[in-house]
């Protein structure tokens, strides 16, 4: 063990002598960051992504030696996490070890770009997070966090407000889904630690708002609606899923057993089970939260930081956007739906991936938000508004 430690120290000291390679063994994670990583379940399948995330945080804290060491561990299996996409690694970008990691990843996973822009929304400060499609005519609904409203794009491409700004005290709108039974709309809304699940009719009138009964901070994020009429919504601050049973009036909390930041959610084809993405993986469970289990995966596939999650023809589609480069991926499921057997990149290192969040499947196309710009909004305030751009919606043809 002492020999191994000495060897690592020798290698790091060699890296430090390289021009443009800045390595320092100084700086530690804040108590909050340390607590975040301590709380991660030891059985989380994507430990490579955990190490990648830790490397980002150590690099940000200034401990570039620790960051490079963790990064080499994380990418030992050559997952599709691209370290060159991270600003935090700029100080070690001149290190030969870092450059080898980048070259290895990019050789195995070259760029993929097949989508095209189909709509442009001129409202730069919309800050959209969710997108949904009407299964009958393809109308698109786009949520707005900052303006607290919902925008509609007709099949002819006409853009208008479906729900006016802050109607009936509407919070910022995140996830959104069309109820296939009656084409009404459900939305996950949040503002400064408060949340509500909102049901609207086809004209945009708010029918009901459902609040969590558990005290504390909440942020409803994404949701699904079953053919029976049950609605399930993720709460990324409460590490839980809330269920509104068909005909019910109160939300039922489903604890995700210490899995952090639940986000995307998708119904299995039989609608008896649901997939829920969390910070470092995806769980499979029934609609009442029973039988929660993390999907296993091949070593070269990452399931971390999935925002939008969808089931199509027995497989998963996912948008990943928090680290390792923005990407849209397809995850092939085993016949029992409880394991990922392979994955492939559908869009990667593309001009049409500028902080995407969610998408929607309509016929043989996947429509998604190219540039959500959600990093420009915090607690109802805009950051650097002068750098905002018109919102682009792209379509990706599916096989």
The reported pLDDT for the residue numbered 17 is 53
Band (3; pLDDT cuts 50, 70, 90): very low
Q: Looking at 108, 128, 161, which one is the last position of a domain?
A: 108
pLDDT tens-place string over residues 140-162:
999 999 999 999 999 999 999 99
DSSP 8-state code for residue 112: B
Cα separation, 249 vs 128, whole angstroms = 28
Q: Are residues 46 and 165 in the same domain?
A: no
Q: Are residues 104 and 122 in the same domain?
A: no
Q: Looking at 90, 108, 126, which one is the last position of a domain?
A: 108
Q: Are residues 208 and 81 in the same domain?
A: no
Backbone angles phi, psi at 103, to 5 degrees: -65, -40
Q: How many domains does the chain have?
A: 2
Could you tell me what percent of the chain has a pLDDT over 90? 93
What would the DSSP string read from start to end of 76-95?
TT--S--GGG-GGGGGGTTS
Q: Are residues 92 and 233 in the same domain?
A: no
Cα separation, 126 vs 98, whole angstroms = 37
What torsion, rounded to 10 degrees, do the Cα atoms 247, 240, 88, 7 define? -140
Band (214; pLDDT cuts 50, 70, 90): very high
For the cut 80, the answer to whether the pLDDT of residue 5 exceeds it is: no
The reported pLDDT for the residue numbered 249 is 96
Kindly report the CATH number assigned to the domain that includes residue 297: 2.120.10.30
DSSP 8-state code for residue 229: S
For the cut 90, the answer to whether the pLDDT of residue 13 exceeds it is: no
Q: Which of 379-382's residues contact partners 24+ apart within 8 Å by CB, and which partners?
A: 379/192, 380/146, 380/172, 380/191, 380/192, 382/125, 382/127, 382/146
Band (311; pLDDT cuts 50, 70, 90): very high
The reported pLDDT for the residue numbered 191 is 97
The reported pLDDT for the residue numbered 188 is 98
If you search the block for the tokens 């469970």, which residue do you land on? 285
Q: Are residues 229 and 378 in the same domain?
A: yes
Q: Are residues 247 and 286 in the same domain?
A: yes
Cα separation, 33 vs 37, whole angstroms = 7
Nearest to 277 by CA among 373, 379, 175: 175
Q: Which residues pair with 273 in a beta bridge?
A: 286
Q: Looking at 62, 91, 108, which one is the last position of a domain?
A: 108
Q: Are residues 92 and 159 in the same domain?
A: no
Q: Are residues 128 and 98 in the same domain?
A: no
The reported pLDDT for the residue numbered 366 is 98
Q: Are residues 6 and 96 in the same domain?
A: yes
What average pLDDT score do residues 83-108 get? Answer: 96
Instruction: State how beta strands 265-267 and 252-255 pair.
Output: unpaired
For the cut 70, the answer to whether the pLDDT of residue 2 exceeds it is: no
Q: Are residues 348 and 252 in the same domain?
A: yes
> Lowest mean pLDDT: which of 23-27, 127-131, 332-336?
23-27
pLDDT tens-place string over residues 113-131:
999 999 999 999 999 999 9
Q: Are residues 182 and 288 in the same domain?
A: yes
Q: Calculate the average pLDDT of the chain.
A: 94
Band (1; pLDDT cuts 50, 70, 90): very low
Domain range spanning residue 258? 116-397
For the cut 70, the answer to whether the pLDDT of residue 238 exceeds it is: yes
pLDDT tens-place string over residues 160-203:
999 999 999 999 999 999 999 999 999 999 999 999 999 999 99
Q: Are residues 209 and 333 in the same domain?
A: yes
Q: How many CB atoms lie within 10 A of CB 72?
A: 18
CB neighbour list of residue 321: distance below 8 Å, 6 or more residues apart: 305, 307, 327, 355, 356, 357
């Amino acid at each position: 063990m002492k020999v191994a430690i000495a060897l690592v120290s020798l290698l790091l000291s060699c890296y430090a002598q390289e021009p443009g390679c800045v390595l320092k063994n100084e700086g530690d994670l804040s108590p909050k960051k340390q607590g975040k990583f301590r709380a991660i379940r030891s059985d989380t399948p994507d430990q490579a992504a955990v190490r990648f995330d830790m490397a980002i945080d150590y690099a940000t804290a200034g401990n570039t030696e620790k960051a490079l060491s963790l990064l080499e561990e994380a990418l030992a299996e050559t997952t599709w996490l691209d370290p060159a996409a991270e600003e935090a690694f700029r100080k070690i970008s001149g290190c030969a070890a870092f450059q080898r990691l980048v070259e290895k990843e990019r050789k195995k996973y070259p760029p993929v770009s097949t989508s095209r822009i189909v709509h442009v929304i001129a409202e730069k400060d919309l800050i959209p997070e969710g997108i949904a499609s009407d299964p009958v005519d393809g109308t698109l609904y786009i949520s707005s966090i900052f303006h607290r409203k919902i925008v509609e794009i007709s099949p002819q491409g006409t853009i208008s407000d479906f729900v006016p700004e802050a109607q009936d005290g509407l919070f910022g709108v995140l996830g959104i889904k069309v109820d296939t039974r009656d084409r009404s709309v459900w939305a996950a809304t949040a503002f400064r630690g408060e949340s509500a699940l909102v049901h609207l009719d086809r004209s945009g009138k708010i029918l009901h708002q459902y609040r969590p009964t558990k005290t504390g901070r909440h942020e409803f994020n994404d949701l699904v609606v079953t053919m029976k009429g049950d609605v399930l919504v993720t709460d990324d601050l409460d590490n839980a899923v809330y269920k509104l049973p068909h005909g019910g009036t109160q939300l039922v909390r489903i604890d995700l057993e210490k899995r952090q930041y639940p986000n995307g959610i998708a119904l299995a084809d039989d609608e008896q089970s649901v997939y829920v993405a969390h910070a470092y993986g995806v769980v499979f469970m029934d609609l009442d939260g029973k039988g929660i289990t993390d999907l296993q995966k091949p070593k070269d596939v990452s399931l971390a930081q999935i925002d939008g999650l969808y089931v199509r023809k027995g497989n998963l589609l996912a948008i990943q956007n928090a680290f390792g480069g923005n990407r849209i991926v397809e995850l092939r499921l085993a016949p029992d739906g409880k394991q990922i057997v392979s994955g492939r990149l559908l869009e990667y290192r593309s001009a049409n991936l500028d902080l995407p969040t969610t998408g929607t499947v309509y016929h043989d196309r996947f429509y998604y938000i190219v540039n959500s710009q959600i990093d420009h909004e915090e607690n109802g305030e805009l950051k650097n508004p002068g750098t905002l751009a018109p919102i682009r919606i792209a379509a990706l043809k599916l096989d």
